[in-house]
């Protein structure tokens, strides 16, 4: 059965009604890149929250020596939190064996929006090939890729990564009767964007409006390099209970 992939650039654009077989949430700058690196570096899980009070209550109920709170609003770390939202900060020494209770401006809201979907994965440029392989191996029929955008607005870098995932799925789904179909024009536009920037994704991230926002906040060169490193990770963050992502 062919895979039918649709792309929704923000959580607000996700349709109501029938759920797909799988959803892939993307927040390239930087939530889903940080999630992938946290799990790659040995975090027990990342538990995502749209709401900070709910985050604090869940973190309080977890053993203190096995928890970290990661919070970001407007690109900056939330005061009092151990971590912000930088993928280069989640070292194995810091996150190994720990549960990360995370809330970010847009990424964790997108995760919340599709938490009922039976197979929920997160993707970024570093693990886009591994995520595409998982979708094809699982024989998913209908797939939604959901971007995070910025406070309801379109974002270039999430759309680039949506195209990168779909392009990898096209290359992998070549067995007889498989193949990939595209469910909306947003998906086709994301594929065109990927064709445009695939040899220089870091520049795309830097010129994007959120890239410019991060540059305005200070030196994020290492974050850009990390977030643009295509196929550098094999981890597939997978929801194992509502809001809880583990490496699979
Ligand atoms: O919007 C989000 O969820 C964040 O990823 C934004 S930031 O890259 O941490 O600034």
- Classify the phi-psi angles of 89: left when phi > 0, otherwise alpha if psi is within -120 to 50, otherwise beta: alpha
Question: What is the position in ligand 1's atom list of the atom closest to the CA of 150?
Answer: 1
Q: Is 244 within the bounds of a domain?
A: no
Q: What are the φ and ψ backbone dihedral angles of 213, each rounded to 5 degrees?
A: -65, -45
Tens digits of per-residue pLDDT, 231-241? 999 999 999 99
Q: Is 245 within the bounds of a domain?
A: no
Question: What is the position in ligand 1's atom list of the atom closest to the CA of 34?
Answer: 5
Q: What is the mean pLDDT of residues 124-128?
A: 98
Tens digits of per-residue pLDDT, 175-189? 666 789 999 999 999
Is residue 22 classed as helix, strand or coil in its secondary structure? strand
The answer on pLDDT for 174 being more than 80 is: no
Q: Is 105 within the bounds of a domain?
A: yes
User: How much is the mean pLDDT over the chain?
Assistant: 96
C-alpha pair distances (Å), 229 with each of 112, 115, 171: 26, 27, 19
Cα 97 to middle of ligand 1, angstroms: 24
Cα dihedral 212/226/98/23 (nearest 10): 80
Using CB distances shorter than 6 Å, the residues near ligand 1 are 27, 29-31, 72, 75, 85, 104-107, 148
- 3-state SS string over 127-168? CHHHHHHHHHHCCCCEEEEECCCECCECCHHHHHHHHHHHHH
Cα 239 to middle of ligand 1, angstroms: 20
The answer on pLDDT for 75 being more than 80 is: yes
Cα 133 to middle of ligand 1, angstroms: 26
The answer on pLDDT for 198 being more than 70 is: yes
The domain in which residue 213 lies consists of: 3-238
Tell me the CATH number at 93: 3.90.1560.10
Look at the block and give the residue holding tokens 């193949």. Answer: 179
- Residue 92: how many other CB atoms lie within 10 Å: 13
Q: Is 243 within the bounds of a domain?
A: no
Q: Is 20 within the bounds of a domain?
A: yes
**3-state DSSP percent of the chain in helix, strand and coil, to 5:** 40, 20, 40
Q: What percent of the chain has pLDDT over 90?
A: 96
Cα 88 to middle of ligand 1, angstroms: 14
The total number of structural domains in the chain stands at 1
Q: What is the mean pLDDT of residues 90-107?
A: 97
Closest CA to 42 of 111, 90, 107: 90
Q: Can you tell me the distance from the alpha carbon of 7 to that of 46, in angstroms, rounded to the nearest whole number?
A: 24
Helices (H) and strands (E) in the chain, counts: 10, 11
Q: What are the φ and ψ backbone dihedral angles of 193, each rounded to 5 degrees?
A: -65, -40
Closest CA to 101 of 164, 38, 150, 144: 38
Question: What is the position in ligand 1's atom list of the atom closest to the CA of 31?
Answer: 5
Q: What is the mean pLDDT of residues 135-145?
A: 95
Q: Is 247 within the bounds of a domain?
A: no
Q: Is 150 within the bounds of a domain?
A: yes
Tens digits of per-residue pLDDT, 161-170? 999 999 999 9
């Amino acid at each position: 059965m062919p895979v039918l992939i649709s792309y929704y650039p923000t959580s607000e654009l996700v349709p109501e009604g029938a759920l797909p077989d799988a959803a892939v949430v993307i927040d390239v700058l930087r939530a889903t890149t940080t999630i992938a690196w946290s799990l790659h570096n040995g975090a027990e899980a990342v538990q995502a929250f749209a709401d900070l009070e709910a985050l604090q209550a869940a973190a309080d109920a977890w053993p203190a020596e096995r928890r970290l709170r990661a919070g970001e609003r407007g690109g900056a770390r939330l005061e009092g939190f151990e971590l912000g939202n930088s993928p280069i900060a989640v070292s194995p020494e810091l996150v190994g064996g720990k549960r990360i209770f995370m809330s970010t401006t847009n990424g964790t809201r997108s995760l919340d929006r599709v938490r009922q979907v039976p197979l929920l994965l997160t993707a970024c440029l570093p693990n886009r090939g591994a995520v595409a392989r998982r979708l094809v191996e699982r024989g998913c029929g209908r797939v939604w890729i959901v971007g995070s955008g910025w406070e309801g607005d379109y974002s270039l870098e999430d759309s680039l990564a949506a195209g990168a995932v779909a392009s990898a799925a096209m290359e992998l789904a070549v067995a007889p009767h498989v193949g990939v179909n595209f469910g909306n024009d947003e998906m086709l536009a994301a594929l065109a964007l990927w064709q445009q920037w695939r040899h220089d994704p870091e520049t795309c991230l830097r010129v994007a409006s959120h890239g410019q926002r991060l540059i305005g906040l200070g030196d994020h060169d290492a974050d850009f390099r990390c977030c643009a490193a295509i196929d550098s990770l094999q981890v597939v963050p997978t929801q194992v209970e509502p809001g809880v992502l583990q490496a699979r």
